[in-house]
Amino acid sequence: MKSLYLLMALILTNSVFAQLDRSQRPAPGAAQKINIPASQVFTTANGITVILSENHKIPKVSIELSLGNTPRLEGSKAGLADFTGSLLMSGTTTRSKDQLDREIDFIGANLSAGSSSMYLSCLTKHLSKGLDLMIDVLYNANFPESEIERIRKQNLSGLQSTKADAGEMASNATRAVNFPNHPLGEIMTEATLQTISREDMLAYYKSTFTPKGSYLVVVGDISRAETEALVQTYFATWQGGPAYQAELGKGQFDKGNRVIFVKKPGAVQSVVYVTFPIDLRAGHKDQLALNVLNGILGGGGFGTRLMQNLREDKAFTYGCYSSLNITENGSWMSAGGNFKNAVTDSAITEILKEFAGIIEAQVRDEELSLTKNNMAGGFARSLERPQTIARFALNTIKQKLAPDYYQNYLQQLEAITKEDVLRVAQQYFTAKNCHIIVVGNEEILSKLLPFDSDGKIEKLDAFGAAIKETRTADISADELIDNYAMALTGTSSKKAAIKKVKAIKSYVRVSEISSAQIPFALSSTDYFWDGSKEASKMEMPGMVLQKSYFDGTSGYTFSMQGGREDLKAEEITAKQKASGLIPELNYKSKGMNYEIKGIENIDGEDCYVLYTTDGESESFDYFSSTSFMKLRTTNLRKMEDELIETTTTFSDYKDINGFKFGHTFSLSVGKMTLSGTVKSIEVNPKEVLPKDF
């Protein structure tokens, strides 16, 4: 019997095999119709838009609440929104955290909250219990101090571990560099975390968790009538002010490639992201073509240009991908992966090459159809999840899409041409103005230099903030000051230097000042007399903009906007600590706080860093370690709640009457930069301060 069976199997096997030509690839069957069930939308009197997507396959319901605010700039409290979000589930005025946790877990539900959203999912039969818990958190969260401190501590440890996580560091750097002064670019640090108080959280919670402009997305085993009843029971009494709305910037667009390096000691691989912002928002008509472009470059699966080149051809990596992030608050492009140290530079070259390639020439027909088919398939696969249908409805409303956008999605996708793809590549992509983020071992740093357009690699810490490296200085603060005085006077002893300083009783210096942000030239005049007194004025033709005066015991400032203001006692004390032709020489006798911080490399030159604080502000002065000339000063002054940072640079020192005066300088405050050139210096003139000053 058995042998007969074997024989039959053999015959069967052979005969079928004979008919099959395996080299023929099967053709697809008739295309299946894609059916997107319609969602139902209604609004409530208190401002909620409810979106319902019914699906009775599984006896579960999910409810997502998405609030109507845009993110805010948080500055010194960066992380407030996230921190608050993570505290929402920490107890309410009616339930302790333990009670809340027990009741949620008991019904097997998932209830979570974020900075501007809440999510509930549970079996249909537990829905009313689930909603009781959800609205308790929504209305009554009470942020207990003990939980705040516990989560703060946990976040601090989390921030610690970020320092070992190359991917996390790279993503922080990407955000910080693409979006400075933008909520997307703000990153929680140990310092910002420490400043966040319970009051901050309550204020955020109160203003953010408001029904106005919010969306309630209901998905699953529930009918329209049940949904309406549920909204009436649980959400009708919810009240609140208008949702926070702000216009957000579009990101940092630069000229030339910038290499940004984050150090990860001991790394065997580098994480590389080549990234830049994109000037459009979710819902823009070019979004679909950009998605196709990204799919061809590296956003799809294995067949993309990046994957084929860097993984399959070069074997540089396990995966090289690109991602296009188009959001309602800002958009950016990023491409990269993990690369072993030895090929990090080659990988960057190849990624930039792929960007350049896709901008220069039309994509191939096969790539286009591959990506479009792939996206069409992804679209079809996504429909398996009921959440997708609800998300479509939400996007249609939030992003003001055509009502039939998703119904027509496949046709629109099909209609995208090679010309469309090239146009968006040229309009939005770049291979020359990229931010090249590298997190890795410092041993590869020198190989990254050629990629940077100005040859200066910026170094960031794990949280996207610029870092300076400081080495210990080999001289004391007083020795530094003496050397500086000798350098300015061209002498070789302190005594000789002081003698020369004394010979200069007064001077008048006139400079011309220009700025890209100011359409006309300014003139500035500085006066110095009696070895310690000083005044200055800045004017444009026919108008004095600012003046200052200080005679050693009193003085004033004058500005066009503010008029004349006398110096306050603290300001006078501070000024007295730094007077004289070379104020540093008088630091010790006048009681200035000063210390040497070490050596830092500034624009390729090693500098001694002298730190001073006069009670009003703090300064960091940078002196060349070879010439001892002062190259730069950074002053930090607190005004109200803001820290104002002013950086002045000095160069082109020239000898006048045996003393070296800097002849060019620049001054930058925030985004404003002024540059100045000295036009004339008169030493020991007959008249110093004009009568009409």
Question: Any contact of residue 317 with another protein (CB under 8 A)?
Answer: yes
* Cβ 54 to another protein shortest distance, Å: 13
Break the chain down into helix, strand, coil percent, rounded to 5: 35, 30, 35
Binding to another protein in span 145-164, by CB under 8 A: 150, 153-154, 156-158, 160-161, 163-164
Contacting residue, 40, 70, 197, 308, with another protein by CB under 8 A: 308
Binding to another protein in span 72-101, by CB under 8 A: 89, 97-98, 101
Cβ nearer to another protein, comparing 377 with 615: 377
Cβ nearer to another protein, comparing 10 with 466: 10
DSSP three-state, residue 292: helix
Binding to another protein in span 202-231, by CB under 8 A: none
**216 Rama sector, left if φ>0, alpha if ψ -120 to 50, beta otherwise:** beta
User: Of the listed pieces 183-191, 201-209, 315-323, 685-693, which binds another protein according to CB under 8 A?
Assistant: 315-323
Question: Any contact of residue 14 with another protein (CB under 8 A)?
Answer: yes
Contacting residue, 70, 75, 129, 546, with another protein by CB under 8 A: 129
Residue 316, Cα to own-chain centre: how many angstroms?
28
Contacting residue, 199, 384, 640, 692, with another protein by CB under 8 A: 384
Question: Any contact of residue 392 with another protein (CB under 8 A)?
Answer: no
In sign, the C-alpha dihedral spanning 178, 180, 183, 185 is positive
* Cβ 454 to another protein shortest distance, Å: 30
* Cβ 26 to another protein shortest distance, Å: 4
* Cβ 467 to another protein shortest distance, Å: 16
| Cβ neighbours for 112, distance < 8 A, ≥ 6 positions apart | 89, 118, 119
Question: Any contact of residue 347 with another protein (CB under 8 A)?
Answer: no
Residue 531, Cα to own-chain centre: how many angstroms?
48
Question: Any contact of residue 377 with another protein (CB under 8 A)?
Answer: yes
How far, in Å, CA of 102 to CA of 228, rounded? 29
Binding to another protein in span 533-562, by CB under 8 A: none
Contacting residue, 137, 166, 248, 487, with another protein by CB under 8 A: 166
Cβ nearer to another protein, comparing 9 with 510: 9
How far, in Å, CA of 136 to CA of 672, rounded? 49
Binding to another protein in span 567-626, by CB under 8 A: none
Could you tell me how many residues make up the chain? Answer: 693
User: Of the listed pieces 255-263, 274-282, 332-340, 660-668, which binds another protein according to CB under 8 A?
Assistant: 332-340
Report how many residues bind another protein under the rule CB under 8 A.
88
Contacting residue, 269, 309, 331, 625, with another protein by CB under 8 A: 269
**552 Rama sector, left if φ>0, alpha if ψ -120 to 50, beta otherwise:** left
Report how far apart, in Å, the C-alpha atoms of 242 and of each of 88, 214, 470, 495 are: 21, 10, 48, 70
**For the residues of 520-566, what is the DSSP string, one character each?**
EEEEEEEEEETTTEEEEEEEETTEEEEEEEE-SS-EEEEETTTEEEE
Report how far apart, in Å, the C-alpha atoms of 195 and of each of 163, 456, 668 are: 21, 33, 28
Angle at CA of residue 47, ends 45 and 51, nearest 5°: 100
Cβ nearer to another protein, comparing 18 with 569: 18
Cβ nearer to another protein, comparing 108 with 685: 108
Question: Any contact of residue 365 with another protein (CB under 8 A)?
Answer: no
Binding to another protein in span 96-125, by CB under 8 A: 97-98, 101-102, 104-109, 122-123, 125
* Cβ 236 to another protein shortest distance, Å: 25
Binding to another protein in span 16-55, by CB under 8 A: 16-20, 22-23, 25-34
Question: Any contact of residue 311 with another protein (CB under 8 A)?
Answer: yes
* Cβ 607 to another protein shortest distance, Å: 26
* Cβ 339 to another protein shortest distance, Å: 8
User: Of the listed pieces 191-199, 335-343, 418-426, 579-587, which binds another protein according to CB under 8 A?
Assistant: 335-343
Cβ nearer to another protein, comparing 91 with 211: 91
Residue 449 CB-half CA count within 13 A: 8
Contacting residue, 145, 366, 640, 692, with another protein by CB under 8 A: 366
* Cβ 138 to another protein shortest distance, Å: 18
Q: What is residue 433's DSSP assignment?
A: S
Q: State both tokens at 683.
A: 């030493």
In terms of DSSP bridges, do strands 40-43 and 258-263 run parallel, antiparallel, or are they unpaired?
unpaired
DSSP three-state, residue 656: strand
| Cβ neighbours for 495, distance < 8 A, ≥ 6 positions apart | none
* Cβ 409 to another protein shortest distance, Å: 13
Which of 39-48 are b and which e, b meaning 16 or more Cβ less than 10 Å from the residue's Cβ? Answer: bbeeebeebb
